[in-house]
Amino acid sequence: MNAEQRNPGPGEPNAALESADYRHQAQKLAFENKMLRAVLDSMPDNVSIKDRQGRYLFDNSSHCRFLGATNTVEVVGKTVFDFLPAAIAAKFHAEDLQVLRSGVVVQSVDETVDGAGNKVWMQVTKMPLRDGMGELIGLVSTTRDITARKAAEEQLAHYAEQLRQKNAQLEEDLATARELQNAFLPQQYPRFPSSAAPGASALRFHHFFRASSGVGGDFFDVFQLSDSVAGVFICDVMGHGVRAALVAAIVRALVEDLRPRATEPARFLQALNRGLSHILKHTRLTMFVSACYLMADIGRGELHYANAGHPAPLCVHRARRNAERLPFSGSKPDPVLGIFEDAPYHSSCCELSAGDTLLLFTDGLFEVEGSDAQYYDPSRLLRAVNERAGLCAAELCQQLVDEVQHFAATKDFADDVCLIAMEIDHLIKG
């Protein structure tokens, strides 16, 4: 055996074993690099590594495609100026320099173009790359394409602006509708007799009106049939809002046309019901209207009235300090308007005295839920009126509204509200 073939002695290196170990480590490292490359290439984000001069040392497949290259070989050793327009490349390079000079992470959202010239939005994170001694040797850049997200955000912003404009237009239209609806209501009350001075009228009127959503379905009117006879009409369209307001406008037009029949309450409601039913049947809407009409004859001291499914008015006797619901002759209320075209309606009658006040209202005044889940029902309203029977009409109305609002859990009305007071100051002798 010669010297080259002898076995190494104790403590002497075994070249063959070292070579095998080196090959094993190299194969393992190559496998791990291959796995790492596979993972990075599978990522949708653009990943690249640059040296301190801004030259690419590494990138993944997504980054290659973004630059318009076919493989990493075409990218390594080059800079961003070799692939992107000068202005965009300069912006990216400035961010690189910020990282390389400060040694801190930089994040940004950039609008740019890809290698094919398409506009894209990128979310960029750049962080310093250091060697084992902590020396800064380059940077790692991770870029996520957020074009789809930005496009969605821009589209959402566009829709939001369109919606804002439409809402503004709708608010403007509602404000106009509110002004028109308020113009439909009595702007000043007639005097009885018509020659009476403003403070000497035999009848005085007060009202409270509020629509729950800008416009509503409540409506009332007061008209003079003669120097000693007044007509008071109130109605409540099912629901509230624009649809109810449109039906209320129809009712108002019908009331104007039917004034010649207003001397007979039952016939007046019958004609009103027929006209409204005829109009509504040509729509696909299921709508109805509750209504009440009073005719006060202060020459004879009589009140004639008819009711179409509406809350019964209250008569307040100030002299006796009490209040009561107006009695109706029928065993059950007459039907609401707009459902049965040939529905019958009946008139009732009672005496009127000086000092009496008639209260007409819609159900929004008392269908109010309190904080204890109890409702301010008609019985409670009647008690409240009895407690204030000695007040004048204006004070009575104000205190009723205040009490109901205070009772409400929301401290306001949830439905349209209309309250009318007709105060008989004195009777007119013939």
For position 39, what pLDDT does the model report? Answer: 79
pLDDT of residue 144: 86
Distance CA 213, CA 303 (A): 34
> Do 255 and 387 lie in a common domain?
yes
**Total residue length of the chain:** 430
Angle of helix 393-407 relative to helix 378-387, nearest 10 degrees, comes to 140
Please indicate, yes or no, whether residues 143 and 270 belong to a single structural domain of this protein. Answer: no
Residue 160 lies in a domain: no
Predicted pLDDT at 348: 94
pTM score over 0.75: no
The answer to whether residue 164 is domain-embedded is no
- Residue whose token pair is 């993944």: 60
Q: How much is the pLDDT for 366?
A: 92
Q: Across 211-288, where does the E strand assignment appear?
A: 218-226, 229-237
Residues 317 and 110: their CA atoms lie apart, in Å, by: 79
Q: Is residue 186 part of a domain?
A: yes
Yes or no: say if 47 and 56 are a contact pair by the CB < 8 Å rule.
no
Residue 309 has what DSSP assignment?
B
- CA dist., res. 48 & res. 67, Å (int): 11
The tally of domains found in the chain comes to 2
Residues of the chain scoring pLDDT < 70? 1-14, 114-115, 331, 430
Q: Which residues pair with 130 in a beta bridge?
A: 136
| CA–CA gap between residue 209 and residue 272 (Å, rounded) | 23
Q: Is residue 3 part of a domain?
A: no
Q: Are residues 59 and 181 in the same domain?
A: no
Q: Are residues 356 and 279 in the same domain?
A: yes
Residues in contact with 163: Cβ distance below 8 Å, sequence separation at least 6, in sequence order: none
Q: Indicate the residue type of 34.
A: K
Please indicate, yes or no, whether residues 235 and 121 belong to a single structural domain of this protein. Answer: no
Q: Would residue 49 count as lying in a domain?
A: yes
Residue 203 sits in a domain whose CATH number is 3.60.40.10
Residues 271 and 398 in one domain: yes
pLDDT at 106: 87
Owning domain of residue 333 = 173-424
Are 78 and 181 within one domain?
no
Which of these, 138, 294, 317, 154, lies nearest to 230 by C-alpha position? Answer: 294
Question: Which of 119, 151, 183 is where one domain is finished?
Answer: 151
Cα–Cα distance between 346 and 330 in angstroms, integer?
Answer: 7
The pLDDT value recorded for residue 228 is 95
> Is residue 422 within 8 Å of 358, Cβ to Cβ?
yes
Pairing relationship of beta strands 356-361 and 417-424 according to DSSP bridges: antiparallel
267 and 414 both lie in a single domain:
yes
- Co-location of 186 and 265 in the same domain: yes
Cβ pair 110, 104 in contact under 8 A? no
Q: At which of 151, 182, 203 does a domain end?
A: 151
Check residue 87 and give its pLDDT.
Answer: 86
165 occurs within a structural domain: no
| Residue-level pLDDT at 184 | 78
Is residue 123 located within the same domain as residue 233?
no
pLDDT at 362: 95
Closest alpha carbon to 358 in 204, 252, 191, 199: 204
How many whole angstroms separate alpha carbon 395 and alpha carbon 380? 18
Domain termination site, one of 151, 185, 213: 151
What lies within 8 Å, CB to CB, of 224 at 6+ separation is 190, 192, 194, 230, 231
For residue range 184-238, what is the model confidence (pLDDT) as tens digits? Answer: 788 899 999 999 998 899 999 999 998 887 788 899 999 999 999 999 999 999 9
Q: Is residue 368 a part of any domain in this protein?
A: yes
Same domain, 283 and 347: yes
- Is position 15 within any domain? no
Let me know whether 287 and 198 are in one domain: yes
Half-sphere exposure of 36 (CA within 13 A, CB side): 9
